[in-house]
Amino acid sequence: MSYDFQAIETRWQRYWAEHQTFRTEIDRSKPKYYILDMFPYPSGDGLHVGHPEGYTATDIVTRYRLMRGDNVLHPMGWDAFGLPAERYAMKTGTHPATRTAECVANFRRQMQRLGFAYDWAREIDTTSPSYYRWTQWIFLKIWGAYFDEALGKARPIEALPIPDDVEAAGPKAVRAYRDARRLAYLHDAPVNWCPELRVVLANEEVAEHVEAGRTVVRKPMRQWMLRITAYAQRLLDDLDTVDWPNSTHAKQRNWIGRSEGAEVVFSVCGVEGPEGALRVFTTRPDTLFGATYMVIAPEHPLVSQITTADRRAAVEAYVRKTARRSERDRQAAAADGDKTGEFTGAYAINPVNQAKIPIWISDYVLMGYGTGAIMAVPGHDTRDHAFATAMGLPILEVVSGGERSVQAEAFPGEGVAVNSGFLNGKPTPAAKQAMIGWLEEQQLGERTVNFKLRDWLFSRQRYWGEPFPLIHRPDGEVVAVPEDQLPVTLPDVDDFNPSESGEPPLAKATAWRELPDGSLREVNTMPQWAGSCWYYLRYLDPHNAEAPFSREAADYWLPVDLYLGGDEHAVLHLLYARFWHKVLFDLGYVGTQEPFRRLIHQGLILGATYLPRDKRRNEEGEVVFFMPGDVEEADGQWTVRATGEPVDEQWEKMSKSRGNVVNPDDVVERYGADTLRLYEMFMGPLEHSAPWQPEGVGGCFKFLKRVHALMFSDEGLRQDLVDGQGSARQRKLLHRTIQEVTERIERMQFNTAISSMMVFTRDLVGKGEPPPKGTLRCFTLLLAPFAPHLAEELWAALGNPNTLAREPWPEADESMLVEDTWTCVVQIRGKRRAELQVPANASKDEVVALVMGDTTVQRHVGGREPRRVIYVPNRLVNIVV
């Protein structure tokens, strides 16, 4: 009976489904373990072999932990809102819900063919009303909360203290006071609007559309924002409590971007009152004596007030130009170091030395960071230096220690203060503290912390997303849809395009939007991130109709013990989910500060394409490439089979547009799911990216065939299998294999765990001794997490009536790991010269005597007296002569 993987895999997949083998419930008698995969967006292209890499890894851990007796939660679902389904609807007229259902069905079918141990009873879909009902519910909790600075946490908006003067001004004032402090608030924010497509683009989408020749303009729109900045410090601090990759820690830190410094008040000459106070943020208050001019952002509210008549035309032209320029344009110019700007005609007084310095506007100062205004210290800031040089502004040295003159080059490093009055002679850190102290004393400024993190633009002008459960009253009041009326479902529409003016598609669903009392529903939808911000919570209690999840389930399962997914989500998804989790923690819905205890990013699986040397493009302007089937290789040179044209091999992330996708269905068809799983894990460390090499798959297939042949011959179950644990050598190897595989699973080093099993199998086959059943029994259990279908087949053939999924994991017998002898490597002056077997119980002196008696050793020592002998038990002897 040959290895009929198709029959085997079908049989066991049906068995697991029928017996609900991987169904999970709360069980307080066992340790819990929550293993989570980042759930996929079910695209129309289906899975490629990159997807199952992470899923296989978590599946191995799941099956291993089950056998270790843990209660494991391992769910799967679909992140199914998003633009592709909506674009597809615009093109074909197919409703996004229909399309999404098709794609989900295909993804589910492909995944189930791989035999993953998911509890499919917990499957979720972010687009299902029974799911997004609770996404809306959580949004209302966020909208209904404010951040209490004193307590450092969110509280219900009803708890917000209302100042007496606001109270006295009436309910409208109270409402405005509250609305301004909610964690979800309305704000006029510029968006990337593409008039051709009538779509608002995310920042990261702008580049591709501009390249495709479309226009993208900045356009102010009323947007919902989430006050993630209130959590900046906690999001930063709590990173220390999670076991995540360094790179991800670093990316989040960098994104949050905390910097310490001071705010300093400059007064604008000739402008009285509060308008005349120009606040700047600086991380280098010690350089205040070197401020020779100021720059404010073109969008700064003070610009029009302070600009003098003779400068007005130039300044207004510059402001208009900046407004039109896309973010991308500005960044491109920034990369070249070009600095532009205009003088406002106004002057400010430097509070530390009363110097009168000019105020400029320039787009290198960003309205969104700090106060939107800076004091420019060209001697010690490279950007200010470039600007001062371009505009002919004076440059002063106030910190010594630079290698070149500050006239030639800014010195941004630390040194000793000079030309700085009372700071002179102080090293930079001390000078900073002294200046902050002085500013606070004079009430001219104070110590401040600033973050790069901005509030989260949370609304999208699209159809295929969660509707906001909010209603705009005719008087402008915004009220929540009552909880018992959730979900606010998406109306059926035929036209998924936004209006020409940029109104979202839902604005056209007037019957849905307009309510009898003249109120209007909110017509923006939530971004795709919303559903993924809390899906790991819904898995805990997916059928709960009263709440998103019970506190009991949260307390039992949280936090996620192992979270696996690509590092493309290192910042946004993980930061947003942490933010929501903290809000839910503050409001008492979950009991942990952080959702994901341990995080691992799997690497990419790369696909090959072959590029002509001339990098030519076809009529549509696309790069011409060839696929693996079109080319052949000889002496390291690839050529197109049909034409003989030389081409270069290129490995890239798999994507349909690059034509380098490998479909797991094809691999399963030819080799089976167990082989695919095994190869994906054998390719290398989980975190590494690696090329997909079809020949390698064959190697893993051969291994499984060899394993199958341990128990089955052409005639069926082998009759020559012997009882018991086999020879002493076989037993020793088995226990070493148990030990290695166990250790390597624990360390998630699956490639080397597989290598151990290969060594074991080769030995069992190669020595010609009939395989002992006891040995096979243990080995089958070791194999189970990696190749579960074949393992179940072997397990049944060994006479076991039930699944091995909860069979206890084999324990290595310590006494079997002890060897009688060890290989002693002999080094002479550090160079390896010989090796010999020595008895395990030999003492140092005995080993050294044995070594010195060896003929090879004697030849190298040549009668000289050893000056020193280093003895490392179980390893080596090094003789120094």
Q: Contact with RNA (CB under 7 A): which of 407, 497, 593, 755?
A: 755
342-349 and 258-268: which strand pairing?
antiparallel
Residues 6+ apart with CB under 8 A from 414: 399, 401, 427, 428, 429
- Chain centroid to CA 463: 26
Closer Cβ to RNA, 245 or 502, answer by number: 245
The C-alpha atoms of residue 154 and residue 148 are separated, in whole angstroms, by 6
Give, as ranges, the residues between 378 and 397 that touch RNA (CB under 7 A): 381, 383, 386
Residues 789-848 that bind RNA (CB under 7 A): 823, 825, 827, 829-833, 835
- Restricting to residues 541-570, name those near RNA by CB under 7 A: 567, 570
Q: Report the residue from 749, 774, 797, 836 that binds RNA according to the rule CB under 7 A.
A: 749
Number of residues that bind RNA (CB under 7 A): 88
Q: What is the largest CA-CA distance in the chain?
A: 108
Written as six digits, the tokens of 838 are: 């020595």
Contacting residue, 690, 798, 836, 842, with RNA by CB under 7 A: 690
Rounded to the nearest 5°, which phi and psi values hold at 617?
-115, 155
Between 193 and 692, name the residue whose CB sits nearer to RNA: 692
Please tell me whether residue 460 binds RNA under the rule CB under 7 A.
no
Residues in CB range of 541: below 8 A, 6 or more apart: 547, 548, 549, 550, 553
Cα–Cα nearest to 296, from 238, 347, 225: 347
> Which part of the chain contacts RNA (CB under 7 A), choosing from 153-161, 232-240, 656-664, 680-688?
680-688
Cis peptide before 559 (omega within 30 of 0): yes
**Binding pattern to RNA, positions 281-310, x when CB under 7 A?**
xxxx------------x-------------
Applying the rule CB under 7 A, the residues between 693 and 722 that interact with RNA are: 693, 695-696, 698-703, 705-706
Residue number, 130 or 827, with CB nearest to RNA:
827
CB of 744 to RNA, least distance (A): 8
The kind and range of the H/E element at 36 are strand 32-37
Q: Which is nearer to RNA, 395 or 554 (CB)?
A: 395
Q: Which of residues 766-785 bind RNA (CB under 7 A)?
A: 766
In the complex with RNA, which residue's Cβ is closer, 783 or 805? 783
Smallest distance, RNA to C-beta of residue 444, A: 16
**Which span (88-96, 183-191, 208-216, 750-758) binds RNA, by CB under 7 A?**
750-758
Please identify, among the stretches 418-426, 614-622, 690-698, 769-777, the one whose residues bind RNA according to the rule CB under 7 A. 690-698
Instruction: Using DSSP, state whether 651 is helix, strand or coil.
Output: strand
Among 326, 752, 807, 816, binds RNA (CB under 7 A): 752
* Closest approach of RNA to the CB of residue 763, in Å: 10
Residue from 35, 758, 764, 812 in contact with RNA (CB under 7 A): 758
- DSSP character at residue 182: B
- Which alpha helices (DSSP H) does 113-217 contain, by range? 129-143, 164-168, 171-179, 203-211
User: By CB under 7 A, is residue 259 in contact with RNA?
Assistant: yes
> Which string of x and - marks every residue 261-280 that binds RNA (by CB under 7 A)?
x------------------x
Of 396, 384, 296, nearest to 346 by C-alpha is 296
DSSP characters for 450-470?
Answer: EES---EE--BS-SSSPBP-E
Tell me the C-alpha distance between 21 and 120, whole Å: 10
Angle at which helix 750-766 crosses helix 673-682, to 10 degrees, equals: 120
For RNA, which is the closer residue by CB, 142 or 374? 374
Amino acid in position 173: A
**Do the Cβ atoms of 445 and 282 come closer than 8 Å?**
no
H-helix segments, 561-693: 572-586, 664-671, 673-682
Of 92-100, 145-153, 757-765, 771-779, the segment contacting RNA by CB under 7 A is: 757-765
With contact defined as beta carbons under 8 Å apart, do 391 and 459 qualify?
Answer: no
Closer to RNA by CB, 491 or 685: give it: 685
Q: Which of residues 488-517 bind RNA (CB under 7 A)?
A: none
Note whether 57 binds RNA by CB under 7 A: no
Site residues for RNA, window 125-164 (CB under 7 A)?
none
Which lies closer to RNA via its Cβ, residue 15 or residue 369? 369
| Structure tokens that stand for 803 in this block | 């699944």
Of 708 and 731, which CB lies nearer to RNA in the complex structure? 708
Taking CA 580 as the corner, what is the angle to CA 577 and CA 584, rounded to the nearest 5 degrees? 135
Residue 277 has which token pair? 């106070």
Nearest to RNA of 519, 856 (CB atom): 856
Stretch binding RNA (CB under 7 A), from 114-122, 224-232, 728-736, 872-880: 872-880
Between the CA of residue 693 and those of 160, 609, 654, 676, what are the distances in Å?
Answer: 61, 13, 13, 12
Residues 609-638 that bind RNA (CB under 7 A): 636
312 binds RNA (CB under 7 A): no
Contact 449, 458 (CB under 8 A): no
Q: How far is the CB of 357 from RNA (least distance, A)?
A: 15
3-state secondary structure of 417: strand
Minimum CB distance to RNA smaller for 345 or for 696 = 696
Which residue lies nearer to RNA by CB, 588 or 766? Answer: 766
By CB under 7 A, is residue 641 in contact with RNA?
Answer: no
Question: Which 3 state secondary structure label does DSSP give 493?
Answer: coil
Binding letters toward RNA, positions 417-456, x by CB under 7 A: ---------------------------------x-x----
Q: Which residue of 759, 798, 836, 852 would you call a contact of RNA, by CB under 7 A? A: 759
CB burial of residue 373 (10 Å; 0-12, 13-18, 19+): buried
